[in-house]
Amino acid sequence: MPQALIVDLTRNAMLTALMLAGPLLLVALVVGLLISVVQAVTSIQEQTLSFVPKLFAVGAAFLIGLPWMIQVLVKYTTELFRSLPTLVQ
């Protein structure tokens, strides 16, 4: 198996993983920042106050983005399976 092919497969897998995880991480970041600002303004330093809203926000983003995520994964998998005969030499 040529080294360029291995690098290409790894790059595609990493890009797909970043595409799927990026929106969820961005939602967690934004909600975390908003909760941190609220905590700083109100002087409430409760740890669970930031965890629970992030959990619900990421869960909602996951449910909203699930059809798109499945579409991306199916596309990646079909491309990988279609290129399988060229990978085995």
The domains of the chain are located at: 3-87
Please give the pLDDT value at position 89: 67
User: Which pLDDT tens digits describe the chain residue by residue (89 residues)?
Assistant: 788 888 999 999 999 999 999 999 999 999 999 999 998 898 888 878 888 999 999 999 999 999 999 999 999 999 999 988 887 76
Residue 19: exposure state from Cβ atoms within 10 A (0-12, 13-18, ≥19): middle
Cα(67)–Cα(41) distance, integer angstroms: 38
